[in-house]
Structures are given as C-alpha cells and as structure tokens.
Amino acid sequence: MTDIANSFGLLRLPGSIVFGDGTRSSIARTVATLGHRALVVCDPFLSSCEAFTQLLEELEALDVVVTVDTKVVPELPIGVVEEAIERAGLTRPQVIVGFGGGSALDLAKLIALGLAHALEATGAATAIAQALVGATTPLGPLALLTGVYVLALGTASLLTNAAAAALVFPIAITAARAAELDPRPFAITVALAASAAFATPVGSNAILLVHGPGGYRYRDFTRVGLPLNALCLAVVLVAVPLIWPLAPA
C-alpha cells in the first residue's frame, strides 16, 4: 500500500474554489504567485476567443513565460495524453492551467500527473497493480475487483471521471493479467467507478460548475455521495461478475 500512496501523492483536494463574476481576471495573478513558467491547455475553438487572448496578455505582463497547447480533442485518447505530456516535458512548466471545457481541464490534470509521476515510464502502474494483487489474493478475485473499484473511485474523486479512467485503466488491466483473470470486467469496473464519484464536487466538471453558484459545501456532497458510492459498489460487485465472469473463458 505504500507504493500506491507514493505513486498518487500528487492527488489532493483543491485548497480553494473560486467562482463568480470577474473570476477569470484573477487567473494571471494566481499563476504568477505559483511560478514563472506556465502551460495553458485550451481547445482549438476557445483559443481564438477574446478572454483567452486577454489571459495570455495578462500572464506575459506579469513576466510569466507561457506555452500554449491547443491539441485538445473530445474523450482524450491515451495517445493524445501521452503526446501532451511529452510536449510539456520539453518546457517543464511550474504551473498548468486548463482553460475551457471538460477535455481541456482533464488534459491539464493528466499532464500534471504525467510530469510528476510518469506512471508508465517509471513502472509505477505495474508496481501499483502488483501491490493490489498481493493485498487481495488471499481474499479472492472479487476482492481484487473491489480494490480496482476503490482505486478508480478515489482517483475520480480527486480528478475527474475521464482523467481517472485514463490513469487507472492500465493499472486495472495489469492487475487482472497478473492475477490470471479476464481483463474485461476490470475495464468495465474502472469505467463505472470513475463515473460514480459523488462524494466530492471535483469528480465531475458539471458538478464543479454548480458547486459555487448553488451554494453547496463539501460536506453536502460527502453526506449524500458516500452512501451512493457504497450502493454503486454493491451493484457493480454483483452485476459485473455475472455479465462478465472474472475467470478467463
């Protein structure tokens, strides 16, 4: 479990959530307090809007060296994420800004994780998978499926559903193969768990958008979300093995 904790050390809940009229104008000042090299991730459509241009001008006025990555696509294939991490590695940004919709925000978070941990390149995915298999083998295949679900759910609660799925998927597949089980139910479990992060407002970009304007507090999501998480876990542990047997055909 120590390997898992170390590999996901970057994941943490945000210290503050800023919202409301005029919030965009505070981005440049916030970035400047965090570092002098910034990567701004934005989709091609929004990169031509006035607000984006103003952001770049404000960053440059504060002596922040800015690199822009607009190679954002919907649903973020793994190849796109890997290429973005590689490009970011050339400039080593101290701050990464996601500007725009869900895919841009997800890619910004994944770039930050990739630069900090490089899961595949460092073999951390294999180490985490082996730790999961080792911890759950005495309890049986269903325990491993539970571990994968909890890992994906926890990651989605700190990032977003798409980012969590992209991050945990290779771990789940590696764990299934190491345990000589069918990878399909583990892939399905990752997808379901990543979409069931109800206990924090950051699990979904849509939820995050209504967090401030709706006057919600963190504990509002936790109070309602934790029971829902438990219910979804129970349903997955019953339904997934029935539809996709854990043992290979």
Identity of the residue numbered 34: L
Does residue 6 have a pLDDT over 60?
Answer: no
User: What's the angle, vertex CA 238, arms to CA 236 and CA 244, rounded to 5?
Assistant: 80
pTM score, whole prediction = 0.59
**Confidence label for 10 from pLDDT (cuts 50, 70 and 90):** very low
Does residue 105 have a pLDDT over 60?
Answer: yes
* Helix axes of 27-34 and 50-61: crossing angle, nearest 10 degrees: 40
Does residue 147 have a pLDDT over 90?
Answer: yes
Lowest mean pLDDT among 17-26, 53-62, 78-87, 165-174: 17-26
pLDDT for residue 236? 95
Q: What is the mean pLDDT of residues 84-104?
A: 86
CB of 161 closer than 8 Å to CB of 204: yes
Q: Partners of 96 in the beta sheet? A: 39
